[in-house]
Every structure is written in C-alpha cells, then in structure tokens.
Chain A
Amino acid sequence: MPRLTDKAWSPYVAGALIGLLQIPAFLFLGTALGASSSFVTVGASVAEVFDPGIRAIRYAAGHLDGAKNWWQVALVIGIALGAFASSRLSGAVRRGVAPVWQRATDLSRGGRFVLAFFAGFLMLMGARIADGCTSGHGLSGMAQLSLGSFAAVTAMFVGGILTATLLFRPVR
C-alpha cells in the first residue's frame, strides 16, 4: 500500500489517480484537466493593470473572467501546495537546482536561471499555439480520442527528443 510518507509511489498508481481527477473536472466543471491556459489568465490579469486595452483582444477577454478560468488558476496553485505537502511528508525536499543540469549542461547556477526563463517562455508560447499542454492535449485530449491531441502530443515528443539529444549531454 502506498504511504503518504513514501518518496515514490508506483508510477502506474500515481498516474491512474491523476487520470481519476477527470471525474470532478467533467462532472462539476464540464471541462477536462488542463494547466496552460491558466498562464494566460494570470498574464493577462497582470497586464490589464498596465494596459486596460488588452480586454479588446478577444483571446485575452476569453481568459480573464469566469469560473473555469479561475478554477484552472486555483488548480495549478494547488499543484504547488500538494507537491509541497508530499515532499515535506516524505523528506524529499529539493533545494537550488537539480543535479541533473550539471550533468547535462555546462551552465552555472545563473546560466540555468536564464535558460529556465527562456524555456518557460518557449513552453507556454508552444502550448498556447497548440492550444494545450501535456495535461490538456496529453492526459485529456488523448483520453477523449481527439485527433488534434494525438498530433500535438506526437509533435511534443519529437520536439522534446530532438532538443534533449542535440543540446544536452546524456544524463546517465
């Protein structure tokens, strides 16, 4: 039986439990699990303080208000809280930068921070172009047998494999 104080659960059990979260998403929200559109809601909300005109962009307006948009913002904040709780319960608390980066790259700590910022930018730009990320297209789109999601997930793996093999040293 998996315990709350374990550092790792079977990936099959943990993955299946994540899949079961589709039940409340579909029953209560009428939507599927997703993460990346919350970045638009947060970004556009901050931008609106400086640029109220952003509401004139229909895409922005569609992400600023409403229960579904703020449900997803709460969901991703919850992810941080849940991972915090789990890591404190098991003692697998992380500090600084993961050691894998030293093995895969020659970057200093500062260099890693710059790359992480650039990577985040690229990641969300791509997710918004594709209209979904690993959650929305991956977990949810594939579970709905959506052809667009099959295409997006395939492209995502191709992009990831090319980048990780061409730009990084082998991690082990």
Chain B
Amino acid sequence: MSIVTAILLGLAMGVAFGFFLEKARVFEPAVILGQFQFRSFLMLRVFLAGVAAGLVVLAVLTGFGWAKLSPKALLPMADIAGGLVLGAGIALAGACPGTVLAQIGAGYKDAWFTLAGGILGALAFTYAEPHLAPVLQVAGQGKLTLDMVTGVPFWMLALGFAVVLVLALVGLERWRPWRQEIGENADGLMPPRQATPPAHAVPAE
C-alpha cells in the first residue's frame, strides 16, 4: 500500500474512531477517574464491548483465512512495568494515548499539554531504548496467545470469550444501567454526594 493511501485510510478510520469515542463519552477525564475509583463503569463497558466485537471480527477473519493475527510478544518485565507506569499516566492525564486526541478535538485545553508530554515521553523512550531493551526482554516468551497454550482453535476460544464478555456486560447493565453514569452535562460527572442528614432530626419544642 502506498503511503498516501495509508494516510487517507488512517484519517478515515480515525475520524470514525474519534466520533465513536466522543459518543461513548469514554474520553472524558471524569469517566476515566471514575472507573479507576470504581464510581463509574462506563470505561469498562466501552472497552469490553470493543474487545468482544474485535474477538468476533478476528474469529471470522482468521477462521476464513482472510487475515492473520499479529499479536505482541509476551515480555513479562516490559508488560508489567510498562503497564503500571502507563496506568499511572492514564489516571494523572485522565486520558489514554488515543483519547487525548479526542479531548483535543472536543476542546479540552489541558489535553494539548498531555499530547506534548506524550511526544516527549515517546522520544525519551526512543533514546533510552537501546539501554532498556536487554532488561525489558528478560524472560521474553515470544508471541504467545491463549490458543497456542491450550491447543484449542483460536476461533473457538475467541467466540467463547466474546460470549463471556457479553454476559458480563448484560450483568453490569442490570446492576447499574449506563444512562445513570452519563451525567447532566454528558461528562460523566455526578452531583457531589450530599452530606448525610442526621439520622434523627431533633424536633423543635
């Protein structure tokens, strides 16, 4: 594919991606913080629905031989250390590397600083990578997926896992409907908890 075609395709897919992220409200900092504080589950709903759809897509595409998987290698050190740092960054930013761009599109000003910090962080890692790589690749296992470990065909596991995720989402929705978490201004922010009134009001005499 030529680079121009790739860029045009990327733009088109990105516009759809950004549109859906905005409609899902998952780019809102209050939604991210609310998820990490277990006060909102909107992020989990979007995330698991996205994984479930991806599982079905990949079960079909690979099942018919139309596409090949391209999973990342299992690098325990890198995955765990990097994941922890990434998670801390996401909480402090109130955004992920993808949704920070949605914040910019929607109009949040601090997102420009997150973006600039992110580009500098990626550059700093690039310069450090030759020194970090030997540590990060300790105990590396190569590209390892659940179907390889279990010997069960990918499509079967993927569809099974998708069913589990859908059931979990049905349960989540029954426990707590998503509309309760959107907020008056659609930013995932709820009115602050009222101070609890005294249990027994003292009657005036």
A148 and B72 contacting across the interface, CB-CB below 8 Å: yes
What is the 8 Å Cβ interface bit string for chain B, positions 163-185, against chain A (1 contact, 0 not)? 00000010001000010001001
How far is B71's CA from A22's CA once the two chains are assembled, in angstroms? 13
Instruction: Give Cα A142 to B46, complex, Å.
Output: 14
Within 8 A of B (CB), among A1-58: 2, 6-33, 35-36, 39-40, 42-44, 46-47, 54, 57-58
Closest approach, in angstroms, between the C-beta of B88 and any C-beta of chain A?
4
Per-residue B-contact encoding for A133-148, CB less than 8 Å = 1, 0 else: 1111111111111111
- Tell whether A160 pairs with B55 under 8 Å between CB atoms, given A83-B27, A171-B30: no
Given contacts A81-B105, A162-B88, A163-B91, is CB(A131)–CB(B14) below 8 Å? Answer: no
- A28 to chain B: closest residue by CB: B9
Q: Are A147 and B149 in contact (CB under 8 A)?
A: yes
Asked whether, in the complex, the Cβ of A160 is within 8 Å of the Cβ of B169, the reply is no
Taking a contact as CB atoms closer than 8 A, the residue among B45, B117, B145 that contacts A120 in the complex is B117
Q: Min CB distance, B142 to chain A, in Å? A: 9
Q: In the complex, what distance in Å separates the CA atom of A117 from the CA atom of B117?
A: 4
Instruction: Give how many B residues have a beta carbon under 8 Å from the other chain's beta carbons.
Output: 143
Chain A nearest Cβ from B99, distance in angstroms:
8
Among A125, A137, A140, max chain B CB count under 10 A is at A125
* Complex CA–CA separation, A75 to B205 (angstroms): 69
A160 to B87, CA, bound (A): 4
Number of residues in A with C-beta < 8 Å to the partner?
A: 136
- Of the candidates B3, B53, B57, B122, the one whose C-beta lies within 8 Å of that of A36 is B122
Please determine whether B83 and A151 come into contact, CB atoms closer than 8 angstroms.
yes
Q: Would you give the shortest CB distance from A1 to chain B, in whole angstroms? A: 13
Bound CA span A44–B73, Å: 23
- Chain A contact residues, majority secondary structure: helix
Q: CB distance B90 to A160 under 8 Å?
A: yes
Min distance, Cβ A91 to any Cβ of chain B, angstroms: 9
Q: Which of B14, B27, B86, B94 has the most CB of A within 10 A?
A: B86
Residues of A within 8 A of B1 (CB): 28-29, 67
- Distance (whole angstroms) from the CB of B7 to the closest CB of chain A: 4
Contact residues of B between 1 and 54, Cβ < 8 Å to A: 1-3, 5-30, 32-40, 42, 45-54
Q: Which of A60, A87, A172 has the most CB of B within 10 A?
A: A172
In the assembled complex, the CB of B125 is this many whole angstroms from the nearest CB of chain A, namely 4
Among the interface residues A2, A6, A94, A161, which one has the most CB atoms of the partner chain B within 10 A?
Answer: A94
Contact of A130 (CB < 8 Å), options: B78, B123, B161 = B78
Compute how far the CA of A104 lies from the CA of B3 in the bound complex, rounded to whole angstroms: 43
- Cβ contacts under 8 Å, B63 to chain A: none
- Pick the contact of A135 from B3, B98, B144, B187 — CB < 8 Å? B98
Beyond A84-B105, A139-B50, whether A18 also contacts B67 by CB under 8 A is no
| Known contacts A126-B87, A148-B75, then 18 further A-B pairs from the complex at CB < 8 Å, ordered by chain A residue | A14-B46, A18-B20, A19-B49, A22-B58, A26-B61, A32-B70, A39-B97, A75-B17, A82-B16, A83-B19, A97-B110, A100-B28, A120-B113, A125-B124, A155-B81, A164-B37, A165-B37, A168-B37
What would be 26 A-B contacts, judged by CB atoms less than 8 Å apart? Answer: A8-B25, A10-B178, A12-B49, A12-B173, A15-B24, A22-B57, A29-B6, A32-B70, A67-B3, A70-B3, A76-B14, A81-B105, A82-B105, A95-B109, A100-B30, A125-B124, A129-B86, A131-B82, A134-B47, A142-B55, A144-B69, A147-B74, A155-B84, A156-B90, A160-B32, A171-B189
